[in-house]
């Protein structure tokens, strides 16, 4: 089977979004047992490159995610730039000590139960602050581990069917499936794709603050890229590439005119490489998470001729709506670095404080989060942004859709919010929707994307929605609110409430927003 056999992807779309109880009922693992892998992947037997200095403590935002006062911090260069880029993109940010320390290790991006299946690799050129080479980023020790010497960006460009002219770095974001699948089994593919998208969104925001310009590549030849990084087949796979360059031109984002590339032949040009991991990594029977492995194997691209350069945007349909103009958002925002340190998913059982949010704060969270970012699949991001307004001072409770590029919400016809929340709540709950200020939903046209992108559409659309979800999460942090990404949702009931065409558009993220309660935890930040 291949990426074009879309029956595989269609089944997983249905199982993971609508029938998630069934997919979890096939089996789950237990935390704390011998099968649980370490929280950090540490490589042995290879040269390490400590990253220089202390990451900049006040990283101002350039505009895309969390606008802030002050100049861009683009005077950094070389080692200092790379240090800040990697630390704030996916660094180890804080520990949790106290009565709720079951998941003590946290980074700047949310992760289901803090398993962090995403790994980050850096393909660096000369002048990037480290010798040209391919590296693994070790956030626990804030260092790079050298995998291959030399400039390999040319090979990545061939595998992506594009140009990386002028790119200082190309980051590869991978999913190490077993770091999540030991617990979530077949459902793990969804969680891995979500997290990879959150990390991509964070990379773009941090890069912009540093004066770098990013371009996300969701389409590439998997075999040569995975071989370049030394990934173990069926254990870890590359989910996206993010090319970063210091100027505003985007030549590396255009399809290259060179001949069509074959993945198997290109992989033969790469010497073999094996990674040696420290710590216990006891993978159980792969049949227990075969759907995750199946989605990965059947999403591979073998030829650049199979790439799709433009995916149609999500159709919105025609409905009777009532426009509502958002008020001005707060003008002054904290630095991106501080917003990332304050980003929080709420307590384990998230029960937000039952108090109103100012309408200007809601505007600060949702305005422009759908602003475009460069990618190889067209006018990203794709998802529609819906929200249930529950307790926002100045905006009537109800169901709304944000109109991208405007200050307008469209109010949709709906039943009273308490009734709607009751129908959308799941049992047993880990969040209290009734005390949340707002619940946001990111919805994409998976049916169209499946036809255009094949099975790979699942990870493309999920990662794309993750870029928007990270913007929302970071903005909530900057404004003193927690944002819990919660997949336990009644998808069919939500689709009926939103008036979505049956079987075509799917909710990819549910983000519950509210204020945290005091819980006696001590959460010291990790500062170098």
Would you state the pLDDT for residue 60?
Answer: 73
Helix (H) or strand (E) holding 451: helix 446-453
Residue 317: inside a domain: no
Q: What average pLDDT score do residues 289-296 get? A: 95
Specify whether 385 is located in the same domain as 281.
Answer: no
Per-residue CA distances from 311 to 254, 321, 444, 446, 461 (Å):
15, 27, 12, 11, 10
Residue 388: inside a domain: yes
Rounded to whole angstroms, the Cα distance separating 516 from 96 reads 15
- pLDDT at residue 194 above 60? yes
Q: Which token pair is 183? A: 């617990």
Pick the closest to residue 209 from 338, 109, 328, 111 (CA basis): 338
Residue 526: inside a domain: no
Specify whether 69 is located in the same domain as 152.
Answer: yes
How confident is residue 69, by pLDDT bands cut at 50, 70 and 90? very low
Residue 521: inside a domain: no
* Parent domain of 510: 322-514
Specify whether 190 is located in the same domain as 242.
Answer: yes
Specify whether 330 is located in the same domain as 253.
Answer: no
For the chain, give the mean pLDDT: 88
Q: Which residue has the higher pLDDT, 105 or 359?
A: 359
Return the top range by mean pLDDT from 80-84, 153-157, 427-431, 515-519: 153-157
Domain boundary among 298, 330, 350: 298
Specify whether 230 is located in the same domain as 346.
Answer: no
- pLDDT at residue 418 above 90? yes
Among 10-19, 210-219, 225-234, 272-281, the minimum mean pLDDT is found in 272-281
Per-residue CA distances from 22 to 18, 27, 328, 430 (Å):
9, 9, 44, 19
Rounded to whole angstroms, the Cα distance separating 376 from 157 reads 12
> What's the maximum distance between 2 C-alpha atoms anywhere in the chain?
63
Specify whether 375 is located in the same domain as 425.
Answer: yes
Rounded to whole angstroms, the Cα distance separating 55 from 81 reads 9
Specify whether 287 is located in the same domain as 326.
Answer: no
Would you state the pLDDT for residue 322?
Answer: 87
For a pLDDT cut of 90, what percent of the chain falls above it? 65
Q: The domain that contains 395 carries what CATH number?
A: 3.40.109.10
Would you state the pLDDT for residue 378?
Answer: 84
How confident is residue 104, by pLDDT bands cut at 50, 70 and 90? confident
Residue 15: inside a domain: no
For tokens 């004066």, the residue is: 211
Span 431-480, pLDDT tens digits: 999 999 999 999 999 999 999 999 999 999 999 999 999 999 999 999 99
What residues does 412 pair with on adjacent strands?
Answer: 399
Q: What average pLDDT score do residues 76-101 get? A: 78
Q: What average pLDDT score do residues 247-256 get? A: 58
Span 330-351, pLDDT tens digits: 656 688 988 998 899 988 889 9
How confident is residue 39, by pLDDT bands cut at 50, 70 and 90? confident
Return the top range by mean pLDDT from 63-77, 120-134, 269-283, 303-317: 120-134
Q: How many structural domains comprise the chain?
A: 2
Pick the closest to residue 109 from 220, 234, 204, 213 (CA basis): 204
> Torsions phi, psi of 514, nearest 5?
-175, 175
Span 300-328, pLDDT tens digits: 999 999 998 766 666 666 666 789 999 98
Specify whether 152 is located in the same domain as 213.
Answer: yes
Pick the closest to residue 34 from 277, 281, 236, 289 (CA basis): 281
Domain boundary among 283, 298, 313: 298
Q: Which pTM was predicted?
A: 0.93
Specify whether 328 is located in the same domain as 290.
Answer: no
Residue 524: inside a domain: no
- pLDDT at residue 526 above 70? no
Specify whether 95 is located in the same domain as 193.
Answer: yes
Specify whether 355 is located in the same domain as 287.
Answer: no
- pLDDT at residue 92 above 90? no
Per-residue CA distances from 35 to 172, 237, 284, 289, 412 (Å):
27, 20, 7, 13, 47
What's the helix, strand, coil split of the chain in %, to 5?
35, 20, 45
Residue 13: inside a domain: no
Q: What average pLDDT score do residues 419-442 get? A: 92
Domain boundary among 232, 265, 298: 298
Specify whether 440 is located in the same domain as 381.
Answer: yes
Rounded to whole angstroms, the Cα distance separating 163 from 134 reads 18
């Amino acid at each position: 089977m291949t990426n074009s056999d879309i029956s595989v992807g269609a089944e997983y779309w249905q199982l993971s979004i609508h029938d998630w109880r069934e997919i979890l009922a096939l089996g789950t693992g237990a935390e704390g047992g011998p099968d649980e892998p370490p929280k950090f992947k540490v490589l042995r037997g290879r040269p390490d490159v400590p990253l220089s200095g202390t990451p900049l403590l006040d990283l101002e935002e350039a505009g895309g995610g969390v606008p802030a006062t002050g100049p861009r911090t683009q005077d950094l260069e070389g080692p200092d730039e790379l240090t800040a880029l990697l630390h704030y993109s996916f660094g180890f940010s804080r520990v949790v000590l106290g009565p709720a320390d079951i998941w003590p290790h946290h980074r700047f991006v949310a992760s289901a139960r803090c398993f962090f299946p995403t790994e980050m690799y850096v393909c660096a050129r000369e002048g990037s602050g480290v010798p040209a080479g391919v590296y693994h980023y070790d956030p626990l020790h804030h260092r790079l581990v050298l995998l291959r010497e030399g400039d390999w960006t040319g090979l990545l460009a061939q595998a992506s069917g594009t140009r990386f002219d002028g790119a200082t770095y190309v980051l590869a974001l991978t999913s190490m499936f077993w770091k999540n699948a030991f617990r979530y089994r077949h459902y793990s593919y969804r969680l891995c794709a979500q997290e990879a998208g959150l990390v991509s969104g964070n990379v773009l925001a941090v890069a912009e603050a540093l004066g770098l310009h990013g371009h996300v590549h969701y389409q590439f030849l998997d075999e040569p890229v995975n071989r370049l990084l030394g990934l173990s087949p069926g254990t870890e796979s590359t989910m996206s590439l993010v090319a970063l360059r210091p100027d505003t031109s985007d030549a590396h984002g255009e399809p290259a005119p060179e001949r069509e590339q074959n993945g198997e032949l290109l992989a033969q040009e790469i010497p073999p490489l094996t990674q040696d991991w420290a710590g216990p990594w006891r993978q159980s029977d792969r049949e227990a998470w075969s759907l995750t492995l199946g989605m990965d194997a059947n999403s591979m691209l073998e030829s650049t001729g199979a790439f799709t350069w433009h995916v149609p945007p999500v159709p919105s349909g025609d409905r009777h709506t009532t426009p509502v103009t958002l008020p001005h958002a707060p003008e002054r925002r904290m630095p991106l670095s501080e917003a990332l340190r304050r980003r929080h998913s709420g307590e384990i059982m998230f029960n937000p404080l039952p108090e109103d949010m100012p309408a200007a704060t809601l505007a600060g969270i949702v305005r422009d989060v759908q602003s475009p970012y460069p990618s190889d699949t067209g006018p990203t991001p794709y998802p529609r942004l819906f929200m249930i307004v529950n307790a926002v001072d100045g905006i009537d409770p109800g169901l709304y859709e944000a109109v991208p590029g405007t200050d307008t919400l469209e109010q949709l016809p709906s039943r009273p919010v308490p009734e709607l929340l009751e129908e959308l709540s799941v049992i047993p709950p880990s969040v209290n929707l009734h005390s949340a200020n707002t619940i946001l939903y990111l919805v994409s046209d998976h049916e169209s994307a499946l036809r255009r992108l094949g099975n790979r559409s699942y990870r493309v659309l999920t990662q794309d929605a993750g870029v928007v979800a990270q913007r929302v999460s970071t903005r909530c942090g900057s404004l003193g609110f927690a944002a819990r990404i919660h997949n336990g949702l009644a998808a069919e009931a939500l689709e009926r409430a939103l008036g979505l065409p049956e079987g075509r558009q799917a909710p990819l993220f549910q983000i519950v927003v509210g204020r945290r309660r005091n819980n006696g935890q001590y959460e010291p930040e990790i500062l170098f």
